[in-house]
């Protein structure tokens, strides 16, 4: 895991740099991707447009990973949790009784 320094610099882990061919002096680009940040190596395969079939394959893989994670997490039933209030009470908040 990399840490952000006080100067907002980030070190790319060696294994990741080797896997993607990142060399000293290469330019990388940070792109917003929803709640994450995407790191793209300029002038490399990261800028190539994926085919529709490849995008669908990647999407299916991600969906399968998400389903596997959901199976391992215990599902909490909101109605059985004892939090001291109910959802319906939120809608009546501030109204006279």
* 22 and 41 Cβ atoms separated by less than 8 Å: yes
Write down the pLDDT at residue 46: 44
Helix (DSSP H) and strand (DSSP E) numbers for the chain: 3, 2
Domain spans of the chain, in order of start: 24-72
What does the pLDDT look like over 11-58, one tens digit per residue? 999 998 898 888 888 898 999 998 999 988 887 544 467 788 988 999
pLDDT tens digits for range 51-91: 889 889 999 999 999 999 989 887 766 555 677 778 888 88
> How much is the pTM?
0.41
């Amino acid at each position: 895991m990399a840490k952000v320094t006080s100067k907002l610099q980030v070190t790319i882990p060696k294994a990741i740099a080797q896997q993607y061919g990142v060399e000293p002096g290469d330019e990388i680009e940070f792109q917003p991707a929803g709640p994450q940040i995407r790191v793209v190596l300029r002038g490399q395969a990261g800028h190539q447009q994926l085919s529709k079939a490849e995008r669908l394959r990647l999407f299916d893989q991600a969906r399968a990973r998400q389903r596997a994670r959901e199976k391992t997490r215990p599902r909490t039933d909101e109605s059985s949790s004892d939090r001291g209030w109910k959802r319906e009470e939120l809608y009546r908040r501030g109204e006279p009784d």
